[in-house]
Structure 1
Amino acid sequence: MTSTAFNPNIHFPYPYTDIHPDSIIQTSDEVLFHVHRDRLQTRSRTAFDGLFTDNSTVGLNRSLVVFLVPEDATVMNCVLHILYGTSSRIYCPDFETIAQAFETLQKYGCRLSECIPQDSEIFTDLVCHAAEPNTDALKVYTLAASHDFEELAVQCSYYALRIPISRIDEGSSIMMGPLYLLRLLRLHASRRAALHRLLMEPPERHEDTPFCNWRRQIGTTRAYGLIAGYLTWEAPADASATWITTAFERVIQCVECPRCQINLWARVLGVIRGWNDVKKTI
């Protein structure tokens, strides 16, 4: 069976628009992919792991040499779309297929950061996958880290903060390696420390009025301190501005003095502005 995406009748991307394929790759499930040997070898640092040698051939197909690979068609289809810089979204490759494609690319000597630019569809799709609230963003970060794919690891590290340190299992730790594990742990620690510093600053006080003297303002400051202490211990490293604001809203609504309320809101907004500026990625 011949691939519908890589065959002699398709329109190959530039600079192979008018150049016919010169080789065929046959997968383990006997699907034939027509390719340009030059394209694959130049994207690899090991001449595509020496695939295009007589030892790898299995015969001829319409005068083109056929090379046998152990990968199946689903994975090889994803690999070739990456190498040619074309879209594979129509085939809806799942995360496991992409992970296997990454393994295959490295096996054939292709550096992921060179083959998958940050503006490519597959890079964007992986970041979007990590950003989805109901997905395990740590899996994407671990995949990138295990292949030393710095650009993807950095982009996904913020979303990986959704996973508490206590839930990072041994397998994921080993797979991502000590360097990327340490960088993720430091990101957790640095962001929580930054939030603690922001919360430590109390709201400003105003001059005494007939309705609100310094004693009542001390009570307001204590109420702020209780919420700040709670957030210091409980806030995750990826705490949202909405989550922080909501924690203070009930206290502010219970404050009777309008000027104290203004000062409390000013302090909370200061925390949010500072929190938004804290480094979000490794």
Structure 2
Amino acid sequence: MYSQRPTQPGSMLQQGSTAFPTPPASTAGSPQELEQAPLISVSTYFHPTANIIPYVDPDVVLASSDSVYFYVHRQKLLHRSSNNFANLLPSSSTSQTDLQPYVHNRSAPPPPLSSPPLRGSEHPNSPHQHHTSPSSRQPNPRPATPQTLLVVPERSDVLNILLLAIYNVSAERYAPSLDTLSLVPQAMIRYGYNPPELINPNTEITRLILHHVRADALRVYVLAGLYNLESLAVSASRHVRSVATITDEQALMMGSIYLRRIMQLHVNRIAALKSILFVKPDGHRPGQPPCDGTDQRVQRAWALATAYLAWEARPDMPSVEIAKSLAPLLDHNRISAVLNAWAHVKDTI
């Protein structure tokens, strides 16, 4: 998520009393001097030479509460924000000039800038990297782009996922926890974004959250209800095993509408399962003449088995458990009919 780079003495970006150290130029100082320079933490994705938007240099630097720097683009931050990124960025009518990409050569794009090398102890998928001397990097052919430094209250892990959601880039390699993901929608609201617009079936952050649905479906459902994330709530509702474990706090967070919907889903599924089970079988097997005694024994055994299943009925009762209880009583075709009917009962809100 962030890397640590040596800074160049005297290379600072000023905003009021806030001083921001920038990575050194490729010709600045000897390797020994750079090794002794202080390190700053810079995002491994949103770094100065990332070229996220081709030929458009980042013009905003975000500093997280734990002092990790993210190089981003004003146009991206303002695109869907209803409050100018928490009123930190002006809605500039003059930004059209700022947003024009710098073209080093109109017949060919500027030469690529090599990524800073990693020390051997760091893995490429690590959330942070420690960079060695950048003396091997090519000189940057672009003119310096004016950059605005904004200090924000989010931790770097939350800010990283927020920015990746704004850019709609996969964050799977960072493997964010559900704790981190749960803080992102509130950060979206703070900066003027509508969570349902950024968290929907077509976005990468939704897939990240769904990675946690099997392990903690109820918590994902509560998160979806809290921010009215309908598609996420529908997906999570399939995996919520019980409404009996919902706490008062969770009920308040998801709200009355989503609470009623998940409870109604479970009530409906249990009722549907009982309805399927209470349809009595014919008693005799196909190809054999009916026998009253056999019919009565099968009916009694069926009544006992279905009474047990009905008593133990759960909205997520697996088909294998139903089949195991009915196997001594019915042939394969009839068991399959019961299981097929159960499989077609609606399992989402």
Q: Is the 8 A contact 2:65 2:151 kept in 1?
A: yes
- Where do 1:236-247 residues align within 5 Å? 236-247=314-325
Aligned to 1:277: 344
Aligned to 2:140: none
Deviation at 1:215, TM superposition (A): 1.9
Structure 1 pair 226–45 and aligned structure 2 pair: CA distance change class (3 A): farther
- Where do 1:49-64 residues align within 5 Å? 49-53=86-90, 63-64=146-147
Structure 1 pair 225–23 and aligned structure 2 pair: CA distance change class (3 A): same
- Where do 1:253-268 residues align within 5 Å? 261-262=330-331, 265-268=332-335
Structure 1 pair 271–23 and aligned structure 2 pair: CA distance change class (3 A): same
SS at match of 1:238: coil
Question: In the aligned structure 2, how far is the partner of 1:268 from the partner of 1:203?
Answer: 10
Q: Is the 8 A contact 2:168 2:204 kept in 1?
A: no
Q: Is the 8 A contact 2:199 2:229 kept in 1?
A: no
Q: Give the greater-gyration-radius structure (CA).
A: 2
Aligned to 1:151: 231
Question: In the aligned structure 2, how far is the partner of 1:68 from the partner of 1:231?
Answer: 59
Q: Is the 8 A contact 2:217 2:236 kept in 1?
A: yes
Structure 1 pair 220–53 and aligned structure 2 pair: CA distance change class (3 A): same
Structure 1 pair 212–19 and aligned structure 2 pair: CA distance change class (3 A): same
Kindly provide the amino acid, as one letter, of the partner of residue 343 in structure 2. Answer: N
1:76 aligns with 2:143: no
Q: Deviations over 1:53-91 (max 9, x none)?
A: 59xxxxxx9731111211111110111011101121222
SS at match of 1:281: coil
1:137 aligns with 2:222: no
Question: In the aligned structure 2, how far is the partner of 1:130 from the partner of 1:179?
Answer: 20
Structure 1 pair 118–169 and aligned structure 2 pair: CA distance change class (3 A): same
Structure 1 pair 93–210 and aligned structure 2 pair: CA distance change class (3 A): closer
Question: In the aligned structure 2, how far is the partner of 1:175 from the partner of 1:239?
Answer: 27
Q: Is the 8 A contact 1:202 1:267 kept in 2?
A: no
Question: In the aligned structure 1, how far is the partner of 2:80 from the partner of 2:236?
Answer: 25
| Runs of 4+ in structure 1 over 4 Å off | 207-212
Question: In the aligned structure 1, how far is the partner of 2:285 from the partner of 2:171?
Answer: 65
- Where do 1:4-43 residues align within 5 Å? 4-12=44-52, 16-43=53-80
Question: In the aligned structure 1, how far is the partner of 2:271 from the partner of 2:188?
Answer: 39
Deviation at 1:148, TM superposition (A): 0.6
Question: In the aligned structure 2, how far is the partner of 1:236 from the partner of 1:122?
Answer: 31
Deviation at 1:179, TM superposition (A): 0.6
Q: Is the 8 A contact 1:203 1:266 kept in 2?
A: no
Q: Deviations over 1:70-115 (max 9, x none)?
A: 1111110111011101121222211111111122112222122221
Q: Deviations over 1:240-273 (max 9, x none)?
A: 1112111222x33xxxxxxxx43xx433222211
Deviation at 1:211, TM superposition (A): 8.9
Structure 1 pair 210–241 and aligned structure 2 pair: CA distance change class (3 A): closer
1:96 aligns with 2:179: yes
Structure 1 pair 234–208 and aligned structure 2 pair: CA distance change class (3 A): closer
Greater displacement, 151-160 / 38-47: 38-47
Structure 1 pair 233–109 and aligned structure 2 pair: CA distance change class (3 A): farther
Deviation at 1:170, TM superposition (A): 0.9
Structure 1 pair 4–127 and aligned structure 2 pair: CA distance change class (3 A): closer
Deviation at 1:212, TM superposition (A): 6.6
1:197 aligns with 2:275: yes
Aligned to 1:255: none
**TM-score, with normalisation over the residues of structure 1?**
0.84
Unaligned runs of 5+ in 1: 55-60, 253-260
Task: Tell me which protein shows more helix as a share of its residues.
Answer: 1
Q: Is the 8 A contact 1:6 1:33 kept in 2?
A: yes
Aligned to 2:190: 107
User: For the aligned residues, what is the CA RMSD?
Assistant: 2.3
Deviation at 1:173, TM superposition (A): 0.8
Unaligned runs of 5+ in 2: 1-39, 92-143
SS at match of 1:159: coil
Question: In the aligned structure 1, how far is the partner of 2:288 from the partner of 2:71?
Answer: 86
Aligned to 2:295: 217
Question: In the aligned structure 1, how far is the partner of 2:202 from the partner of 2:311?
Answer: 38
SS at match of 1:63: coil
